[in-house]
Every structure is written in C-alpha cells, then in structure tokens.
Amino acid sequence: MTQLLFGQSYYLRFDPKLWKAMQPYPPLGTLYAASWLRQHGYEVAVFDAMLAESEGEWARALDEHKPRYAVIYEDNFNYLSKMCLLRMRQAAFTMIQMAKARGCTVILCGADVTDHYDKYLEQGADYCILGEGEETLLELLNQLEGKRDAGLESILGLACQSQIEHRTLNIVNRRRPDITELDKLPFPAWDLVDIEKYRSIWMKRHGYFSMNMVTTRGCPYHCNWCAKPIWGQRYNSRSPENVVAEMKWLKETFAPDHLWFADDILGLKPRWLERFAALVNAADARIPFKCLQRADLVNEKTAAALAQAGCKTVWIGAESGSQKILDAMEKGDRVEDIYNAARLLRANGIEVGFFLQFGYPGETWEDVQKTLKMVRECAPDDIGISVSYPLPGTKFYERVQLELGAKQNWVDSEDLAMLYRGPFPTEFYRVLHARVHHEFRLRQAWRKPHWTILLRTPYHLAGLMTSAWRLRREAQAQYEAA
C-alpha cells in the first residue's frame, strides 16, 4: 500500500493537435512534488497521464497502489495547464470521483484549481492547494498524519470545506509566500515515470530524444493577457551551478539528445547566461536545448552565451507586428526588438521560433497585415499561432469579462474559438491560422528546399490561395456589418 499516489489530468490523447505533433514531456511539476515529499519521508508513486489512454488507467493505478492520499498535482510548467482546457478539467473531476470511490483523501493543486477551487471542492476534493504547492502539501500531510497539531486554519495556501450549523462553507486560508531558494529542492523524481517509453516515442517520431527541465519559477513582466495564478509577478531562479549539476546528471543517467527548458524566460538575472554557459562546458554537461526568451532581452552577449551553452532554438513571444497591439498588451518591448532578436540569434547559429497571437481587442486588418509582414521579413524557422484567450486574474479578462458567453474555455488546444466579441469572428481567425501556415510553409520550402517539404508545395499553394480569398471575404463581411 502506497501512502501517496500522485497524478495529473493533462492527457495528451485528449488533445488532438498535440497528439498528432507527438512531442510528449513528463509532468515536471508533479515530479518535483513527488520528489519533495519522498525527501521528507513519504512513500510515493506517480501516475503519468501524459501518455495514458484514458482516466481508466488512473483507476487501475489506484487499485494497484491502494493509496491513502490521491494527489492530483498539475504540472504548472506546462503552459496548457494555465489555459484550463475543458476536456482536462473534466478528466480531473473524473479522477477525483474515482479516488473518492476508493476511500482516498483527495488533494488538488494547479493553476485551474487556484482559480476555481470551489468547482473542485464541489466535485469531492477534500483539499485544494492555492499557488505553489510543495510546502503547503507537506504541511497538510503532516497535519493529517498527526505530525503537527497547529490546525488546518494555520496552513497557508489551503482551501477546504467545513460544516458549520448544517451548512457547507468553503474555508480559504491566505496564500503562502513562494519558495525563493530553489536550489534546496531535490531534482524531479525521474525514476517514477517510464523514461524509456518517452525515449521510444521521440526516437520513432523525431529521431532524437528530448527531456524537460526548468531553471526558474515565475515571470516579473506584465503582459496583461498572461495568467499567473501560481507565482504572480514574482520570479525566482536556481543557480547556474545547480542547473548544470542536474544537466550533468541527466546526461550521465539518461543520455538525452535534447532539452526543453520550460521556463517563461531563461536566464533573466544579470550575467546568469554567461555563467551558465561557462559551467556547462567546464562540466562537460552540454546538451542541445530550446528555450523561451523575450525579444528585448536578446543582445550580442546573451545570444553568444546561449550559443556557447548549446542552445539550438529560441522561441520568442513576438505576438504581433503592430506596435499598437504590443502596447495594448503591455508587452514592454517594441517591434524592432523582435527583428533585432531574430537577427542576433540567427547570426549565432540559433534557430528562431515566433509565438503569434491574433484577435486582441482593437486589432484591425492593417494590424494583421503588419504581423504577416514581420513573419515574412524576420523569416523565423517555426511559428505557433493562437488567438487571444481571456484567463481569470488578468487585466485582459477583466476588460472583456462582460463579453464572455457560456463557453469560457477551449475544449482542446485546437479549438481556436473566440471566447469574447473580438475584432473578427471565430471563423476569420481559423481561416487566418490556415493562411499564415500555408504562406509560412511555402516560404520555408523556398528558403530551405527539401524533398519532404517540396512534396507538399502544391497543397500549401492551393491552401494559400483559398484561405487568402476566404480571409478577405470574411474581413469585408465584418466591415460591412459594422
């Protein structure tokens, strides 16, 4: 009998777009929590939903381990967990009910739990952790196991229900300060997931094996559409020495071909990247990696340090080629920063990816054209496209809250539905998504001709012509209706 069974509710199988892409990573946040509790004397096991077929596998894990505590601890380093895809929330509800039916005490932690703890308590969860989870979870378990007697009301970051005069009331304690000394955390409990299953999938689909890491928690910037239910505006960083020690261990233990640093921003602290690059090479811990950066933080020194450390790809939250839209988003950078970052990274042999966001309030046809122009001129190596998504706790959400309809979340990441009254209707953005991708792939075939890309050229050419015509028709109809 296992004391704690950890799980999470992001099932790749339930997200058709990302299932097709098949670039799975284990739930890093869950593995950190499992490692932390194990370090403090608890017997733990992990159910990994990422590659599971359905919630039925969670039921089988419960029957196998017979845990006293079922801890559904979401991976807060997975950006999709912030978005609350409805299919995954329903999976969490189902998992709660399965665990309660087996007599478990059920504990929840995650971004959506923090935003909507009442929904999870209504579904039968015994306790919800608000914000960062490790220390709160440890205190809660110690309380439940009789190792402390200060009372539940003293546990910061905890929400639960209480019966008062025949009424059920939600009790919500104030938030806990974040962990600032991240080096004290143990490395994730990699031994509790099936690494070889991940390796096999990556090698079969992509010809290399990628693993994930984080060096930080949080982001201090103020993009007004970005939800930060866990760390808010706070930002804490591991030391370069601690990060390199983990890279060295991963290299010697699992020999990955590639790493994905899942940080919101890698190396924000002054001279962190330069120190990191030097230590990586001195320790023979170099592994090619991809990461995220802000455009205005990329300069000659940081680009060179990234290259020296082994960076293969940098993804930038470019969002828009219109300065008006960037300012409305409170991004804090300029369009020319995006051009400059792309130039500097490419000069250092680093591939560039752009995240693009359409549909922000006030965006016009002309703003859309500026974004397309930026993509043509910067020629990123890859792009990711979304539409503006109102997330609770953001200024953007507050601005459009009265425009939200019954549907306030996507079902999966391919949904692309406009959840508020955007500049154009949903169909416009779905056609725009196709149009941008068709043009991008055609230009990619021109710049980097390869038989696999060239074979699809007729498809993309026909798609571009059709989607461009439909896009203008949708835009014209919108202007006429206005």
Q: Which two tokens stand for residue 328?
A: 């409305």
Q: What is the CATH number of the domain that holds 45?
A: 3.40.50.2300
pLDDT at 475: 79
- Domain's final residue, options 126, 145, 172: 172
| pLDDT at residue 131 is higher than 80 | yes
Does 248 share its domain with 380? yes
User: Of the ranges 33-37, 146-150, 171-175, 438-442, which is most confident?
Assistant: 33-37
Weakest-pLDDT range from 290-294, 382-386, 392-396, 476-480? 476-480
Cβ(310)–Cβ(349) below 8 Å: no
% of the chain with per-residue pLDDT over 90: 76
Does 206 share its domain with 167? no
Cβ(354)–Cβ(377) below 8 Å: no
More reliable by pLDDT, 422 or 289: 289
Residue 69 counted as domain residue: yes
CA torsion through residues 169, 83, 76, 31, sign: positive
Pair type for strands 210-213 and 258-261: parallel
Dump strand ranges (E) for 135-246.
Answer: 158-164, 167-172, 210-213, 216-218, 235-237
Pair type for strands 210-213 and 158-164: unpaired
Residues ≥6 apart with Cβ < 8 Å to 67: 1, 2, 3, 4, 5, 45, 104
**pTM summary value:** 0.93
Kindly report the number of other CB atoms within 10 A of residue 285's CB atom.
20
Cβ(285)–Cβ(244) below 8 Å: yes
Question: Residues 370-388: what's their mean pLDDT?
Answer: 95
Taking the C-alpha atoms of residue 97 and residue 388, their distance in angstroms, rounded to an integer, is 33
Does 165 share its domain with 279? no
3-state secondary structure at position 207: coil
Residue 150 counted as domain residue: yes
Does 224 share its domain with 78? no
- Domain's final residue, options 172, 204, 228: 172
| pLDDT at residue 225 is higher than 80 | yes
Taking the C-alpha atoms of residue 254 and residue 209, their distance in angstroms, rounded to an integer, is 10
Give residue-wise pLDDT tens across range 71-97: 999 999 988 877 778 999 999 999 999
Q: What is the CATH number of the domain that holds 473?
A: 3.80.30.20
Does 285 share its domain with 375? yes
Residue 50 counted as domain residue: yes
Question: Residues 379-406: what's their mean pLDDT?
Answer: 90
pLDDT at 14: 95
Q: Cα-flanking dihedrals φ and ψ of residue 388, to 5°? A: -60, 130
Does 95 share its domain with 235? no
CA torsion through residues 388, 390, 394, 395, sign: positive
CA torsion through residues 40, 42, 71, 79, sign: positive
Residue 329 counted as domain residue: yes
Weakest-pLDDT range from 296-300, 418-422, 444-448? 444-448
Does 131 share its domain with 187? no
Nearest to 199 by CA among 244, 276, 255, 268: 255
Does 382 share its domain with 271? yes
Cβ(230)–Cβ(132) below 8 Å: yes
More reliable by pLDDT, 446 or 367: 367
CA 46 to chain centroid: 20
Domain hosting 239: range is 182-481
Taking the C-alpha atoms of residue 33 and residue 15, their distance in angstroms, rounded to an integer, is 25
Does 306 share its domain with 372? yes
pLDDT at 482: 62
Query: How many folded domains does the chain comprise?
Result: 2
Residue 55 counted as domain residue: yes
Residue 426 counted as domain residue: yes
Does 161 share its domain with 209? no
| pLDDT at residue 377 is higher than 70 | yes
Residue 284 counted as domain residue: yes
pLDDT at 295: 97
Nearest to 248 by CA among 204, 280, 214: 280
| pLDDT at residue 452 is higher than 70 | no
Does 92 share its domain with 25? yes
- Domain's final residue, options 153, 172, 191: 172
Residue 177 counted as domain residue: no
DSSP symbol at 85: -
Does 234 share its domain with 347? yes
Question: Residues 203-217: what's their mean pLDDT?
Answer: 97
Question: Residues 179-186: what's their mean pLDDT?
Answer: 97
